Amino acid sequence: MLNQADNDLLTRVGPGTPMGDMLREYWVPACRSATLEADGAPARIRLFGENFVAFRVTDGRVGFMQEGCPHRCASLALARNEEGGLRCIFHGWKFDVEGKCVDAPTEPGGQRAKFAESVPVRSHPTHEAGGLVWVYMGKRATPPRFPEYEFTALPSENIQPTRGIIRTNWLQGLEALLDSAHVGFLHSANLSSALGKALFKEESDYMLNDGAPVFEFVEQPYGFREGAIRQEGPDRSYARVREVSLPFFSFIPSAPTGSRIVCCSIPIDDCTTAQWYIAYDTDGPLERNILTDFGATSGDPDHFNADMGGPENLWHQDRQAMKDGHWSGIIGRGNAYEDFAVQESMGPIVDRTQEYLGTCDRVIYRARMLLLDAVKRFRDTGELSFAGDEIDFGAIRAVSFPFKKDEDWRDFDAHELAAIAAE
């Protein structure tokens, strides 16, 4: 368990908080690239407890700035988007893609240009990659290098980013993405279905047959590798090797070849989180929509769980289905909805002083300690963790595979396993 001070330190992300200040120093996904149309409607974006708009100007570039017009605070989500910038419909003030005020038509002609130059506007750098618009909200004059994960270099047909929105703190979202021990219980009905077996191949049987994997770790400059080791007979084991790129990303283990999923937990505010599920295939176009396969979509890729319900209806849990053999009773919705329901059931910010952790929670404890160390170091020295120049973000890949008892899972490389499987 954590004490209350450390729990607050990890979970509070508003302006001026230590964790909020640290997380703003990383590039974070703000919205899907496809959401923004050139000269189209701005998208309202809330991150770290603050409101912004993202917009694509005439030449295709993307801007990201405060939602409230600096003049009288009218929402720039209502603005006209034309001729290279946003023009507020209230008084016609215009802002370019870099967030600078370039016109204030309500000012006298002789001082109009000079006045516009003096208008303070808060805007942030953007970067498009992996079907996403990323934003840097930190205080550095020059943004840090972009983390070029392998999915960020893929063509659009190879990648599918979708966003869920959950009514919990960002750390609850992250911890659910790291917890391998729950898979054989919470998601057992999905894993044992024909579709689950088709998608996860033989891995589903390993997860269902061994609910108490042994967890082993390898420290990495970006976070850690987690090996969840399950036994299969006297001579063989099975490893689900997750890659955790802190502070946001969990690369979900999958077979050496085929489609993959990486997830991240991005704070909207203290009590709301954007949970991104990014499906991708490095070898070619994605052949299926994994979230749709599991029924985990409302039809809106920007809020795929809009129809999941909430505490007022217990997330549409079906007790009769539970009596008939479905474990969670959240039927036809998929793993993501089950995860989201459990996370929201803990309350907006879970009271971690009341927890009683077990052996299966080693990964949770490890992540918390690394994040606590990082935020305290950043608060006291300004040093940023998990972002060193030596990190090869593009090499990070999670994988699942069987191995012999006299072998060590740490000796297997995900890329080499993929090459062998493709032969």
Indicate the burial class of 100 (C-beta count within 10 angstroms; 0-12, 13-18, 19 or more).
middle
pLDDT classification of 197: cutoffs 50, 70, 90 = very low
**Centroid of chain to Cα 368:** 17
- Mean pLDDT score across all residues of the chain: 91
pLDDT at 110: 87
pLDDT at 334: 77
pLDDT classification of 207: cutoffs 50, 70, 90 = very low
pLDDT classification of 257: cutoffs 50, 70, 90 = very high
Please say if the pLDDT value at position 68 is more than 90: yes
pLDDT classification of 324: cutoffs 50, 70, 90 = very high
Please say if the pLDDT value at position 201 is more than 60: no
Q: What mean pLDDT is predicted for residues 146-155?
A: 97
Return the exposure string of 39-49: e unless at least 16 CB atoms fall within 10 Å of the residue's CB, then b.
eeebbebbbbb
Query: How far apart are the C-alpha atoms of 390 and 223, rounded to whole Å?
Result: 13
**Centroid of chain to Cα 136:** 15
> Which residues, 6+ apart, have CB-to-CB distance to 199 below 8 Å?
290, 293
pLDDT in tens, 383-403: 999 999 999 999 999 999 999
Please say if the pLDDT value at position 80 is more than 60: yes
**Looking up tokens 């230590």, which residue turns up?**
18
| CATH fold of 30-135 | Rieske Iron-sulfur Protein (2.102.10)
Domain limits, the chain: 30-135, 150-422
Query: How far apart are the C-alpha atoms of 67 and 263, rounded to whole Å?
Result: 27
Task: Please report how the helices 170-178 and 362-381 are oriented relative to each other, as an axis angle in degrees rounded to 10.
Answer: 140
| Residue predicted with more confidence, 231 or 245 | 245
pLDDT classification of 192: cutoffs 50, 70, 90 = low
Query: How far apart are the C-alpha atoms of 113 and 119, rounded to whole Å?
Result: 10
| Residue predicted with more confidence, 197 or 312 | 312
pLDDT in tens, 333-369: 778 889 999 999 999 999 999 999 988 888 999 999 9
% of the chain surpassing 70 pLDDT: 94
Indicate the burial class of 323 (C-beta count within 10 angstroms; 0-12, 13-18, 19 or more).
exposed
Q: Averaging pLDDT over each range in 63-77, 306-320, 326-340, which range is the top one? A: 63-77
- Ramachandran quadrant class, 130 (left: phi over 0; alpha: psi -120 to 50; beta: rest): left
pLDDT classification of 204: cutoffs 50, 70, 90 = very low
pLDDT at 202: 52
pLDDT in tens, 170-188: 999 999 999 877 887 888 8
Predicted structure pTM score: 0.93
CATH number of 150-422: 3.90.380
Please say if the pLDDT value at position 208 is more than 50: no
Query: How far apart are the C-alpha atoms of 253 and 246, rounded to whole Å?
Result: 16
pLDDT in tens, 98-124: 999 999 999 998 899 999 999 999 999
pLDDT classification of 10: cutoffs 50, 70, 90 = very high
pLDDT at 235: 86
pLDDT classification of 203: cutoffs 50, 70, 90 = low
